[in-house]
Amino acid sequence: MKRNYRRRPPARDDQGAVAVEFAIITPFLLLLVAGIIEFSYAMGVQISVTQAAREAARTYAVTDDWGKATAAGTAGAPSLSGAISFSKDIDCEEDSTVNVTAQYTANSLTGFALNFSGNFISFAGTFTSTGVGAMRCGG
């Protein structure tokens, strides 16, 4: 005896389920991509600020000229637009180590940069990166 199997048409309840699932998942995926982009940008800024501090410390340790050191530090981070502020802990003396701190405030790409200050986390349109470079004085 041969049975007759018929295909049933899909139930009406299944229509549009994929569109609803896509609408639910898409905002989370976009948030994840925006977070990856923002974190990558912040890491790039941090690397540039640290490089600027190293260049300023090296130039100050060799030349003992703070003006040349800040110019070298600014030139050492060409990807940063705007002012980088530099500070040193001591004046260079023979066989001492100078620490130069560079600080830069950058604008967020997405407007949702996280600022970690103490125990408080806030969303802001800007974030501040700090880098430190150390070099032994006297060349």
Instruction: Please give, one letter per residue, the 3-state secondary structure of 10-47.
Output: CCHHHCCHHHHHHHHHHHHHHHHHHHHHHHHHHHHHHH
- At residue 122, does pLDDT exceed 80? no
Q: Which residues contact 10 (CB under 8 A, 6 or more apart)?
A: none
Q: What is the pTM of this model?
A: 0.77
As a whole number, the mean pLDDT across the chain is: 85
29-86: pLDDT as tens digits = 998 998 898 889 989 999 999 999 999 999 999 998 999 999 999 999 999 988 899 9
User: Of 116 and 57, which is predicted with more confidence?
Assistant: 57
- Yes or no: say if 56 and 69 are a contact pair by the CB < 8 Å rule: yes
- At residue 17, does pLDDT exceed 70? yes
- At residue 96, does pLDDT exceed 60? yes
pLDDT at 121 (0 to 100): 56
pLDDT at 45 (0 to 100): 93
User: Of 30 and 7, which is predicted with more confidence?
Assistant: 30
Q: Which amino acid is at 7?
A: R
Q: Which amino acid is at 114?
A: L
- At residue 12, does pLDDT exceed 70? no
CA distance 62 to 132: 17
pLDDT at 113 (0 to 100): 65
Q: What is the mean pLDDT of residues 18-26?
A: 91
Q: Which residues contact 50 (CB under 8 A, 6 or more apart)?
A: 102, 131, 132, 133
Q: What is the mean pLDDT of residues 124-128?
A: 81
Per-state percent for the chain, helix, strand, coil, to nearest 5: 45, 25, 30
